[in-house]
Amino acid sequence: MNQYTNEYISHLKNTLNAIAKQQEKLEYIIEEANSLFDTTVIWKPELVAGMVALSLNSSLTKKWADKADLEALTRGLEGNVTTEMNLAVGDLADAARLSESLKQHILEIDLQLETKLKNCTKFEGGETFIKEWNNFLQLYGARATSEIDIYRPRWHEDPTSLMQMVMGILTTAKKGAHRVHYAALINAHKIAVNNIVNASDHGIFGKIRKALVTRLIYVINQLVPLREHHKFLMVKFMSVAKVHLLETATHLKTQHKIEKIEDIWFLTLPEILALLDADKPLFTADIEKRKQAFEHHQKLTPPRLITSTGEIINAHIQSTLAPKGALVGSSVSAGVVEGIAKVITDPAQDQLRKGEILVAPFTDPGWTPLFINAAGLVTEVGGLMTHGSVIAREYGLPAVVGVLDATQKIKTGQRIRVHGDAGYVEILSNMTNETL
């Protein structure tokens, strides 16, 4: 699948680079964007088969297999592009440990990122680190926090959040800890597979069930990790398209059709085409109105649910298992963990120390490297198959999602307990000094 993605993106880049006129480039981008679903749907049969295999395996074995083994079955799966990226971030941190002087230089908080990277080669191991850094950006530079919004800076544009994550690992984790942890997950997965297969050989139909379960687990191992590949291709497409959209913005600014480069994000694609074809600005007033509306909406807290008629429905999650005062959400990854909470709303601005519990509004692949240090996860939105939930299960982290206003009700430094089995979070103490 990586080869398919690479070939598609290479073809996209080569085609765009061969087109001279900005208008024709944009028309090609629009054409490709309209067919992007068809491009990525190549994975749909495998993705569906993987999910069906998980469901069938659970139905066939839950009567005899241990619950912990069934949960471990979705951990340590190899081939997930987001997990591979996460491991590569840990490898970057290890490359920064090639000398103590290099490590201290990278941990210097007062240096601008550009200066920090430029001066790395002055230290022992610095050239190797920069090589690893550039290789990482070559592979994953299209990613970003909130990456589904094209205006958000990609890592190859602004790798500040990436460096923050590297620094966080350097500060709190031992060399190779991420690889050791992942190897342990793989081993636990193999043990769970063996236990589940043996448990399925039970009763008069045991031999048949065992053969079916063995096949289903093979399908799970081969196909479930593909679920992140389709989005990765989309994100890489957006990154390539963004380069040419910014070229178009520069062209329009030079022609005095827009005032600022970033005005391009407040126009629709048909409007941009119209501007390219026009002799004068057409949408200046619309751009200003949209900017004001955008700034206004950024300050609002959207409701959880709005019906098609505009009615706002407020749901109050209840749990008979949760003690009084607990914050109730949805259980998405089993286990119970107690530790210091770290509320993060922007990975570019904060680090997560080893053993802290990540409390966030949501997560996407741009947040994934934080999971290396996390002991647990609490998010305000999410479900069983959203990004944070899936990654938490793969890493064996207790997680509760859908906790209303979690980033306001939980404060950095508080000791909390995450009940990943029952789906609630307890705040155990007030502010402490056990935080950044």
Say if residues 221 and 109 touch (Cβ distance below 8 Å). Answer: no
Q: What is the mean pLDDT of residues 374-394?
A: 87
Percent of the chain with pLDDT over 90: 62
Distance CA(145)–CA(140), nearest Å, equals: 12
User: 342 in helix, strand or coil?
Assistant: strand
Instruction: Sheet with 424-427: list strands edge to edge.
Output: 327-328, 424-427, 415-419, 336-343, 357-360, 376-379, 399-401, 330-333
* pLDDT at residue 265 in the model: 96
φ/ψ bin of 341: left (φ > 0), alpha (ψ from -120 to 50), beta (otherwise) = beta
**116 C-beta neighbours (distance < 10 Å), count:** 17
Q: What is the mean pLDDT of residues 176-205?
A: 92
Residue whose structure tokens are 């751009």? 287
**Amino acid in the structure at residue 8:** Y
Please check the confidence at residue 433 and state whether its pLDDT lies above 70: no
136-145, 163-172, 277-286, 310-319: least confident range:
310-319
Q: For the chain, which domains are there? A: 1-254 (no CATH), 327-427 (3.50.30.10)
Please check the confidence at residue 281 and state whether its pLDDT lies above 60: yes
Distance CA(394)–CA(338), nearest Å, equals: 19
Say if residues 361 and 407 touch (Cβ distance below 8 Å). Answer: yes
Choose the most confident range, by mean pLDDT, from 80-84, 124-128, 310-314, 364-368.
124-128
* pLDDT at residue 228 in the model: 83
User: 249 in helix, strand or coil?
Assistant: helix
Distance CA(79)–CA(220), nearest Å, equals: 12
* pLDDT at residue 434 in the model: 45
**298 C-beta neighbours (distance < 10 Å), count:** 7
50-54, 300-304, 313-317: least confident range:
313-317
Classify the C-alpha dihedral 316-319-324-328 as positive or negative. Answer: negative
* pLDDT at residue 287 in the model: 93
Residue 137, judged by CB atoms within 10 A of its CB (0-12, 13-18, 19+), counts as middle
Nearest to 283 by CA among 298, 299, 272: 272
Say if residues 418 and 336 touch (Cβ distance below 8 Å). Answer: yes
How does residue 16 score in pLDDT terms, banded at 50, 70 and 90?
very high
Residue 143, judged by CB atoms within 10 A of its CB (0-12, 13-18, 19+), counts as buried
313-344 in b/e form (b: 16+ CB < 10 A) is eeeeeeeeebeeebbbbbbbbbbebebbbbbb
Please check the confidence at residue 357 and state whether its pLDDT lies above 50: yes
Residue 14: φ, ψ to 5°? -65, -40
19-28, 382-391, 425-434: least confident range:
425-434
75-92: pLDDT as tens digits: 888 888 888 998 999 999
Residue 379 pairs in a beta bridge with 360
DSSP output for 121-144: GGSTTHHHHHHHHHHHHHHHTT--
User: 147 in helix, strand or coil?
Assistant: coil
Distance from the Cα of residue 83 to its chain's centroid: 10
Helix (H) or strand (E) segment spanning residue 337: strand 336-343
Classify the C-alpha dihedral 366-372-378-383 as positive or negative. Answer: positive
**Amino acid in the structure at residue 288:** E
User: 286 in helix, strand or coil?
Assistant: helix
407-424: pLDDT as tens digits: 999 999 999 999 998 999
* pLDDT at residue 320 in the model: 72
338-351: pLDDT as tens digits: 999 999 998 877 88
- Token digits of residue 148: 């589904």
**Amino acid in the structure at residue 112:** Q
| Residue 384 Cα distances to 53, 251, 262, angstroms | 17, 45, 36
Active-site residue set: 387
Pairing of β 424-427 and β 415-419: antiparallel
- Token digits of residue 355: 């053993």
Cα first-last separation, the chain = 40
What's the count of helices (H) and strands (E) in the chain, helices before strands? 17, 8
> What angle (nearest 5°) sits at the alpha carbon of residue 347, between those of residues 91 and 349?
115
Say if residues 250 and 261 touch (Cβ distance below 8 Å). Answer: yes
Cα diameter, the chain? 80
* pLDDT at residue 318 in the model: 67
